[in-house]
Amino acid sequence: MDLTDYRNRIDAIDSELVRLFRERMDITADIASYKAKNGIPTYDPKREREKRTAIAELVGPELANYTDALFTLIFELSRSYQRKLFPGESELKDKILRAIENTEPLFPARPLVACQGVEGAYSQQACQKLFPAASIMYFNSFEGVFSAIENGLCRYGVLPLENSTAGSVNKIYDLMMKYDFSIVRSTRLKVDHCLLARRGAHIEGIKEIFSHEQAIAQCGDFLKSLGGVRITPCENTAEAARLVFESGRNDAAALSSRACAEIYSLDCLRESVQDRGSNFTRFICISKKLEIYPGADKTSVMMVLPHKPGSLYMVLSRFFALGINLIKLESRPLPNTDFEFMFYFDLETSVYSDEFTQLFSDIEGMCMSMKYLGSYSETV
């Protein structure tokens, strides 16, 4: 036999597998109907364990792991198909539908918004991009913004989530686990860092540079080129500019924005000192109330999954099966646990699609806990 003969045999087997799979799913539909009529849960863990054990004995030890992975996926597809045919009650689905119905058709233009930092911070620039005429209340920390939303002090809060050069803002993900909120919109801001100093200062005389840790990470190559300069982290880049202005020192500088040079009467000693020219930061807009505005095509969700092999794979397989694009996956350790993790997902799918409804119907039962963070669109 040559390769073509082997492939012909594989094709014949695959055709038979497809016929049997179709037959199996038809019977699955009959089972789903019976369970729905008699109030029997879709998932029967005892039955699945027995089936997996029996299949492993049939195939033998050499292929046991492979067939276990195959039939675990088949069982999951069967459950998904049953839930599609008979969706049943879903508290999350009802919550999302109410939010869509009760949210105003237009995104507000003049709300009170919480931002971390001071005048000139990148968060303020992101806020103005989202809300052309917002009133801004500044807070010293990211947690201050979350707290302002939770306590009803501000309707919205704007926070940095990730940077294309330095990666995720881990503090934000940790605070997401602590507070209840919803993401209602996001935006991307091009970040150009400048080296700012008091008027009359020269780059050769700079001995200390202030900035936020993210900006420091984004300008690593430039800072190394200066050699021997002390790097001092502070709350944000605008605060760094303010510190330099108030210090009276000509040997201190800040990594900050061009806007802060104008606000704090500083000279720009060097422009665009970030390591990459295409340096963008993504910001999210959060609210206490779940609001889903027209055109929402992104969704964020946090999950804690069972600590066993394949649990993350099973969730990811649902995205693939439904044709949903996963645009971000982040993990953060859970506080007060023995190396257990929370997974953060950003999904690209319309909140109005059947695939969206089917996805959350499928994954709710896969998680130890799940936190739906909202569906929204991104302002370009």
Of 27, 11, 26, 20, the closest CA to residue 70 belongs to: 20
28 carries an active-site annotation: no
DSSP state, residue 193: -
Of 245, 248, 243, the closest CA to residue 233 belongs to: 243
356 carries an active-site annotation: no
Helix or strand holding residue 319 (H, E): helix 311-321
The whole-angstrom separation of Cα 291 and Cα 97 is 10
Helix or strand holding residue 110 (H, E): none
The tokens describing 356, both together, are 């969206």
**Contact of 25 with 81, CB cutoff 8 Å:** yes
CA distances from 377 to 60, 130, 185, 370 (A): 50, 11, 5, 21
Looking at 281, 299, 349, 357, which residue is catalytic? Answer: 281
The whole-angstrom separation of Cα 373 and Cα 345 is 10
**Contact of 364 with 92, CB cutoff 8 Å:** yes
> Phi/psi zone of residue 141: left (φ > 0), alpha (ψ -120 to 50 degrees), beta?
beta
The tokens describing 306, both together, are 């069972």
Looking at 181, 245, 283, 356, which residue is catalytic? Answer: 283
Q: What is the DSSP string of 123-140?
A: HHHHHHHH-TT-EEEEES
Q: Is residue 315 classed exposed, middle or buried when 0-12, 13-18 and 19+ CB atoms within 10 A define those classes?
A: buried
DSSP state, residue 115: E
The whole-angstrom separation of Cα 262 and Cα 92 is 48
Provide the annotated active-site residues: 281, 283
